[in-house]
């Protein structure tokens, strides 16, 4: 069939529609290669569309000038003809086979009606209030954790100690450099800001009180919790989520290994232990940074800083900070596990679950911190 | 490179894939593991070639090298007369690949999965893309109602079919299959083989497949290449391969399973002369 197409230029292969005699009557003659690959340049495609528009749907067609016709090219012609054979057509055996297939498999799926207002409202209501559902599932998770902890106390030798120590290393030890860096930088920035204000009052020595109290009591624990929520919370959700995708969760259930005892509890325990330690570590780094900045901008010596700190910050603040951090750790682990278990076996759900996990654990940390601030407002201050 | 130059790729070369002096060496901790050593293989236009070999003989690695996903340590792989890396810029239009587990995009529905390579051209009108994808969907034996399903809702056989439709969307001259019938029940595997044979005839495809399924192997392939001792020890028709004297071929084709498959094949061919 290629013999009928005269070879004129290197661009000969481009798909196009011509007439037997230019401008005259006679059948429309598509030429060149009508393949998916040939439609890959914008210029050629637009030229072809114009030619097709000129040709119109009806009339006589002669496809024998086409060098190569694949399903995409056939589909283009077929759609151009209004999904029906033109009145008059000349074509080769193989071209007919391709076009026959396009005709035979041309069925379209039934259009699904767009859901109306009442449908979507009904579906929304049927799911129940989100808060109610989350509350119910959250309570179930907490209850399961309590039962698992009881099991642990009853038979400590059966507990997954290796898992716990592994998670402790991953969530705790490997987080030390980043939390120290962030803590020290925050300490420096804060000390500079405060020292500028204090100097105008001549109350330079109070920098120790302000830094000590705010860093140890509030900023250290919250900063550490936010970092850990971003770092370990997302990791936990992704880990458990991938286990869902690869059916590892189902495999565990079949083997009789309870998810709560082997997946949730070790992570909760590890974070409950690691979180207060990291929070103390972050506070220490921040205080060191603050001390450095205070010395540079206010000439407050480290000796004075060390002597003044215990007087300004009663020990109960450290206890409070640690207690708060334990709660943060448990919450981060539980929220991360909750979203990990809810991941459905597809990539989109995994991404959404990880995002929700981090966002809700950070929100939760700040909410709970506010609650602590209100509940313990009478403790740890020296007036 | 102009379109016409790419177009003419297909015609001038009788052999679709040429592999010369291929070495693949994996660096393990401490040692080196030689997978291919001076491997030679030529795949002709229009044939269905099966790659056979024990586990770890580098069948899938060879497929990945043909696709340009992995670079050989030494030697040359030419697909349609060009380096695979050059071809992969043209994507699905030149080589279609059916991955072992389908590798469907879980975030898209069936139709969008099939239509993806066409959409990536950013050229064709949406209606044409939809219709072309629907033709391929029905060509692999699925009903148009399946178009809106998500990959997570499909059975194993349907995933393979959708993946095949996606591999075929651009009508590529070369189709690679990695374990096309693994995990399918016998009826589904049979109908998948029929489907492949039909498509091979209608579309004039060149097919390269890796398979362990002896029935599929003997049923479909026009030529079998056996990978053992780090090279292709023999490539030819089933009879030629079985006649070749090598312990691996002996175990593979003349073990219990092999004998049964061969026997079934003979019965089949005598029934339908």
- pLDDT per position as a tens digit, B74-108: 888 888 888 887 776 666 667 888 888 888 888 88
Lowest model confidence (mean pLDDT) among A134-138, A312-316, B5-9 = B5-9
Instruction: Look at residue A40 and tell me whether its pLDDT is greater than 80.
Output: no
Domain assignment of residue A119, yes or no: no
Is there a contact between A336 and A241 (Cβ–Cβ < 8 Å)?
Answer: no
Nearest CB to B4; choose among A13, A75, A345: A13
DSSP-derived secondary structure for A25-65: SS-EEEEEEESGGGGG-HHHHHHHHHHHHHH-SSSEEEGGG
Q: Are residues A196 and A54 in the same domain?
A: no
Answer yes or no: do A345 and B131 touch at CB < 8 A. Answer: no
pLDDT tens digits along A10-38: 456 778 888 766 666 778 888 888 887 77
Nearest chain A alpha carbon to B90: A37
The pLDDT value recorded for residue B3 is: 39
Beta-carbon contacts of residue A352 (< 8 Å; ≥ 6 apart): none
Is there a contact between B197 and B232 (Cβ–Cβ < 8 Å)?
Answer: no
The pLDDT value recorded for residue A63 is: 83
Predicted confidence band of residue A292 (pLDDT cuts 50, 70, 90): very high
Q: Are residues A196 and A61 in the same domain?
A: no
Instruction: Look at residue B161 and tell me whether its pLDDT is greater than 80.
Output: yes
- What is the predicted ipTM? 0.75
Answer yes or no: do B4 and A12 touch at CB < 8 A. Answer: yes
> Average of pLDDT values for B18-26?
88
Q: Are residues A100 and A183 in the same domain?
A: no
The pLDDT value recorded for residue A307 is: 92
Nearest chain B alpha carbon to A38: B3
Domain assignment of residue A114, yes or no: no
The pLDDT value recorded for residue A23 is: 62
Domain assignment of residue A113, yes or no: no
* Residue A263 DSSP SS3: helix
Instruction: Look at residue B5 and tell me whether its pLDDT is greater than 50.
Output: no
Structure tokens at B151: 């990959």
Nearest CB to A42; choose among B123, B127, B135: B123
A13 CB within 8 Å of a chain B CB = yes
Nearest chain A alpha carbon to B118: A36
Q: Name the E strands within chain B.
A: 15-27, 32-44, 48-53, 74-79, 95-98, 174-178, 206-210, 223-228, 231-236
Domain assignment of residue A229, yes or no: yes
Domain assignment of residue A153, yes or no: yes
> Average of pLDDT values for A104-123?
78
Instruction: Looking at the complex, report in whole angstroms how far the Cα of residue A342 sits from the nearest Cα belonging to chain B.
Output: 15
Answer yes or no: do B118 and A72 touch at CB < 8 A. Answer: yes
B3 CB within 8 Å of a chain A CB = yes
> Average of pLDDT values for A56-76?
82
Is there a contact between A168 and A268 (Cβ–Cβ < 8 Å)?
Answer: no
Instruction: Looking at the complex, report in whole angstroms how far the Cα of residue A159 sits from the nearest Cα belonging to chain B.
Output: 35
Is there a contact between A347 and B108 (Cβ–Cβ < 8 Å)?
Answer: no
Q: Are residues A233 and A289 in the same domain?
A: yes
Nearest chain B alpha carbon to A102: B135
A198 CB within 8 Å of a chain B CB = no
Nearest chain B alpha carbon to A108: B144
Q: Are residues A45 and A155 in the same domain?
A: no
Q: Are residues A187 and A308 in the same domain?
A: yes
Nearest chain A alpha carbon to B123: A42
The pLDDT value recorded for residue B162 is: 92
Domains of chain A: total: 2
pLDDT tens digits along B208-243: 999 888 888 888 888 999 888 888 888 888 888 888
The pLDDT value recorded for residue A282 is: 96
The pLDDT value recorded for residue B79 is: 86
Q: Are residues A237 and A315 in the same domain?
A: yes
Cβ atoms within 10 Å of A218's Cβ, excluding its own: 18
Contacts of B166 in chain A (CB under 8 A): none
The pLDDT value recorded for residue B141 is: 83
Q: Are residues A213 and A305 in the same domain?
A: yes
Domain assignment of residue A366, yes or no: yes
pLDDT > 70: percent of chain B:
89
Alpha-carbon distance of B164 to B137, in angstroms, equals 9
Instruction: Look at residue A164 and tell me whether its pLDDT is greater than 50.
Output: yes
The pLDDT value recorded for residue A383 is: 60
The pLDDT value recorded for residue A93 is: 82
pLDDT > 90: percent of chain A:
48
Instruction: Looking at the complex, report in whole angstroms how far the Cα of residue B89 sits from the nearest Cα belonging to chain A.
Output: 12
Contacts of B127 in chain A (CB under 8 A): 79
Predicted confidence band of residue A1 (pLDDT cuts 50, 70, 90): very low
Among A289-293, B129-133, B152-156, top mean pLDDT goes to A289-293
Instruction: Look at residue A84 and tell me whether its pLDDT is greater than 80.
Output: yes
Beta-carbon contacts of residue A113 (< 8 Å; ≥ 6 apart): none
Instruction: Look at residue B29 and tell me whether its pLDDT is greater than 80.
Output: no
b (16+ CB within 10 A) / e for A103-141: eebbeebeeeeeeeeeeeeeeeeeeeeeeeeeeeeeeeb
Contacts of A110 in chain B (CB under 8 A): 144-145
pLDDT tens digits along A325-343: 999 999 999 999 999 999 9
- Between A149 and A34, residue with greater pLDDT: A149
Domain assignment of residue A115, yes or no: no
Answer yes or no: do B135 and A346 touch at CB < 8 A. Answer: no
Answer yes or no: do A75 and B121 touch at CB < 8 A. Answer: no
Q: Are residues A197 and A328 in the same domain?
A: yes
Answer yes or no: do A44 and B139 touch at CB < 8 A. Answer: no
Answer yes or no: do A37 and B135 touch at CB < 8 A. Answer: no
Q: Are residues A347 and A213 in the same domain?
A: yes
pLDDT tens digits along A190-223: 999 999 899 888 888 889 999 999 999 999 999 9
Instruction: Look at residue A6 and tell me whether its pLDDT is greater than 70.
Output: no
List the domain range (segments joined by +) for residue A100.
Answer: 16-105
CATH number for the domain spanning A101: value is 3.30.750
pLDDT tens digits along A216-271: 999 999 999 999 999 999 999 999 999 988 889 988 888 888 889 999 999 999 99
Instruction: Look at residue B252 and tell me whether its pLDDT is greater than 50.
Output: yes
Instruction: Look at residue A104 and tell me whether its pLDDT is greater than 70.
Output: yes
Answer yes or no: do B152 and A345 touch at CB < 8 A. Answer: yes
A195 CB within 8 Å of a chain B CB = no
A2 CB within 8 Å of a chain B CB = no
Instruction: Looking at the complex, report in whole angstroms how far the Cα of residue A217 sits from the nearest Cα belonging to chain B.
Output: 45
pLDDT tens digits along B102-150: 888 888 889 999 998 888 877 888 888 999 899 889 888 888 888 888 8
Predicted confidence band of residue A183 (pLDDT cuts 50, 70, 90): very high
The pLDDT value recorded for residue A382 is: 73
The pLDDT value recorded for residue A235 is: 95
A42 CB within 8 Å of a chain B CB = yes
Instruction: Look at residue A9 and tell me whether its pLDDT is greater than 60.
Output: no
Answer yes or no: do A79 and B151 touch at CB < 8 A. Answer: no
Contacts of A112 in chain B (CB under 8 A): 148
Nearest CB to A13; choose among B3, B106, B148: B3
- Between A57 and A10, residue with greater pLDDT: A57
Q: Are residues A100 and A217 in the same domain?
A: no
pLDDT > 90: percent of chain B:
5
Among A40-49, A111-120, A206-215, B53-62, top mean pLDDT goes to A206-215
Is there a contact between A36 and B93 (Cβ–Cβ < 8 Å)?
Answer: yes
Contacts of B151 in chain A (CB under 8 A): 346
Instruction: Looking at the complex, report in whole angstroms how far the Cα of residue A66 sits from the nearest Cα belonging to chain B.
Output: 13
* Residue B23 DSSP SS3: strand
Q: Which of A12, A36, A83, A84 to probe by mutation at the B interface, max B CB count within 10 Å?
A: A36
A263 CB within 8 Å of a chain B CB = no
A204 CB within 8 Å of a chain B CB = no
In this complex, how many residue pairs, one in chain A and one in chain B, have their CB atoms less than 8 Å apart?
A: 107
Domain assignment of residue A54, yes or no: yes
The pLDDT value recorded for residue B13 is: 59
The pLDDT value recorded for residue B93 is: 66
**Averaged pLDDT score across all residues of chain A:** 87
Percentage helix, strand, coil for chain B under 3-state DSSP, each rounded to 5: 45, 25, 30
Instruction: Look at residue A3 and tell me whether its pLDDT is greater than 70.
Output: no
Q: Are residues A192 and A287 in the same domain?
A: yes
**Interface subset of B 68-127, CB within 8 angstroms of A:** 90, 93-94, 105-107, 111, 118, 121, 123-124, 127
Answer yes or no: do B148 and A44 touch at CB < 8 A. Answer: no
A96 CB within 8 Å of a chain B CB = no
Structure tokens at A189: 């920035």
The pLDDT value recorded for residue A24 is: 66
């Amino acid at each position: 069939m290629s013999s009928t197409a005269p070879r004129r230029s290197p661009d000969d292969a481009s798909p196009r529609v011509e007439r037997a005699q230019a401008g005259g009557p006679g059948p429309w003659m598509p030429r060149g290669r009508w393949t998916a690959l040939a439609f890959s340049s914008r210029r050629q495609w637009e030229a072809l569309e114009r030619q097709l528009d000129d040709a119109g749907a009806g009339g006589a067609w002669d496809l024998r000038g086409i060098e190569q016709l694949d399903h995409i090219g056939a589909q283009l012609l077929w759609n151009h003809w209004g999904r029906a054979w033109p009145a008059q057509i000349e074509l080769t055996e193989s071209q007919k086979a391709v076009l026959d297939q396009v005709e035979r498999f041309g069925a379209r799926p039934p259009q699904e009606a767009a859901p109306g207002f009442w449908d979507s409202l009904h579906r929304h209501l049927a799911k129940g209030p989100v808060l109610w559902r989350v509350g119910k599932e959250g309570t179930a998770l907490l209850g399961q954790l309590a039962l698992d902890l009881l099991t642990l106390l009853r038979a400590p030798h059966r507990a997954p100690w290796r898992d716990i120590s592994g998670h402790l290393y991953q969530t705790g030890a490997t987080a030390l450099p980043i939390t120290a860096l962030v803590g020290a930088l925050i300490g420096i920035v804060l000390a500079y800001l405060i020292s500028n204000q204090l100097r105008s009052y001549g109350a330079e020595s109070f920098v120790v009180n302000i830094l000590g109290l705010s860093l140890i009591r509030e900023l250290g624990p919250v900063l550490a919790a936010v970092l850990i929520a971003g770092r370990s919370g997302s990791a936990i959700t992704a880990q458990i989520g991938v286990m869902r995708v690869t059916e590892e969760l189902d495999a565990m259930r079949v083997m009789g290994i309870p998810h709560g005892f082997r997946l949730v509890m070790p992570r909760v325990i590890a974070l409950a232990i690691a979180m207060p330690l990291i929070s103390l570590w972050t506070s220490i780094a921040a205080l060191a940074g603050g001390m450095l900045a205070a010395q540079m901008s206010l000439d407050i010596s480290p000796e004075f800083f060390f002597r003044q700190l215990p007087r300004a910050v009663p020990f109960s603040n450290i206890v409070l900070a640690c207690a708060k951090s334990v709660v943060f750790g448990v919450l981060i682990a539980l929220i991360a596990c909750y979203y990990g278990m809810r991941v459905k076996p597809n990539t989109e759900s995994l991404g959404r679950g990880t995002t929700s996990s981090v966002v809700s654990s950070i929100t939760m940390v700040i909410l709970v911190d506010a609650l602590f601030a209100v509940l313990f407002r009478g403790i740890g201050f020296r007036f | 490179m102009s379109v016409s130059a790419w177009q003419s790729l297909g015609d001038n070369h009788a052999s679709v894939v040429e592999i010369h002096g291929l070495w693949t060496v994996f660096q393990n901790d401490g040692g080196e593991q030689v997978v291919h050593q001076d491997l030679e293989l030529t795949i002709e236009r229009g044939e269905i070639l099966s790659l056979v070999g024990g586990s770890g003989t580098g069948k899938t690695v060879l497929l990945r090298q043909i696709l340009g996903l992995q670079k050989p340590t030494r030697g040359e792989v030419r697909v349609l007369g060009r380096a695979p890396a050059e071809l992969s810029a043209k994507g699905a239009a030149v080589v279609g690949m059916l991955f072992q587990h389908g590798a469907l995009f879980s975030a898209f529905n069936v139709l969008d999965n099939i239509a993806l390579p066409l959409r990536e051209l950013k050229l064709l009108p949406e209606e044409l893309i939809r219709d072309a994808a629907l033709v391929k969907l029905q060509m692999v034996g699925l009903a148009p109602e399946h178009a809106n399903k998500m990959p997570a809702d499909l059975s194993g056989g349907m995933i393979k079919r959708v993946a095949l439709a996606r591999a075929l969307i651009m009508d590529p001259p070369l189709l690679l299959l990695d374990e096309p019938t693994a995990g399918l029940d016998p009826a589904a595997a049979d109908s998948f083989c029929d489907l492949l044979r039909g498509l091979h005839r209608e579309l004039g495809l060149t097919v390269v497949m890796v398979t362990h399924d002896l029935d599929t192997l003997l049923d479909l392939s026009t030529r079998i290449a056996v990978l053992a001792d780090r090279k292709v020890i023999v490539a030819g028709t089933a009879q030629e391969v079985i006649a070749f004297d090598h312990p691996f071929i002996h175990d593979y084709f003349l073990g219990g399973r092999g004998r049964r498959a061969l026997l079934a094949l003979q019965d089949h061919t005598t029934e339908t002369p």
